[in-house]
Amino acid sequence: MATTYRNQLRDILNLAWQFVRKNGYSMSEALKCAWANFKLKAALKVKVVEFYFKKTDGTLRQAFGTLKANLIGEVKGTGRKPNDNLQVYWDTEKEEYRCFKKFNLIRIA
């Protein structure tokens, strides 16, 4: 149990440092965003979640997504390598996978 908790904290701090280095966030902003991403990922595994993020063109997007296995449709392999900077989720409205940059997460509703 202690090892799992320690690994989760390590992942959160690594993500926060990544936000500081790549995006110029202050450590306070980076930690808030990293914790929000951690909470979103945990919630996506359990249920359908409403959340907001900023798209690359600057507009705000409201999304309803999940990562719960029984709510996801048929998955085809793409052969793509996973990207650590992106959060992937199953869009329940469009019925397909979507993604956004983790540092663009605004809030979880």
Report pTM. Answer: 0.88
- 49-54 vs 86-91, strand pairing mode: unpaired
Q: Are 34 and 20 in contact (CB under 8 A)?
A: no
Q: Which residues contact 8 (CB under 8 A, 6 or more apart)?
A: 38
Q: Are 72 and 90 in contact (CB under 8 A)?
A: yes
For 41-83, write each residue's pLDDT tens digit.
999 999 999 999 999 999 999 999 999 988 887 767 667 788 8
- 86-91 vs 60-66, strand pairing mode: antiparallel
What strand order describes the sheet that includes 49-54?
96-101, 86-91, 60-66, 49-54, 105-108
**What average pLDDT does the chain have?**
92
Mean pLDDT of 23-48: 95
